[in-house]
Amino acid sequence: MFWKKARKKYGRITAADKDIQCFQELMPEFQTEGYQGITGWLEDIGHRWIARRLGKVGPILEIGAGTGRFSLFYSGDSESYFQSEYC
């Protein structure tokens, strides 16, 4: 049900959308400044732990990707890694 509604509402949005481009430009800043201190350190421990255990399992869908920080630790094929975030 969710994805059907999401496709209907956002299906016309592409990478050329100005909000998407703005988000992509700001992403590196979110990834570095948003993960400072002990909170970021603990988050990264979790990301590393999961990334080490994935291996070559095939396509990955990360639900609730947030700022996409896990992608910094994922060593698999980027073509097989998909992120989803509810906005």
Rounded Cα distance, 83 and 67, in Å: 10
Give 19-53 pLDDT, tens digit per residue. 888 877 887 777 677 777 887 888 899 999 999 98
Residue of 57 and 46 predicted with greater confidence: 46
Average pLDDT (68-86) is 84
Contacts of 46 (CB under 8 A, 6+ apart): none
Close Cβ partners of 59 (under 8 Å, ≥ 6 residues apart): 80, 81, 82
Q: What is the pLDDT of residue 45?
A: 93
pLDDT of residue 49: 94
Q: What whole-number distance in Å separates Cα of residue 21 and Cα of residue 51?
A: 27
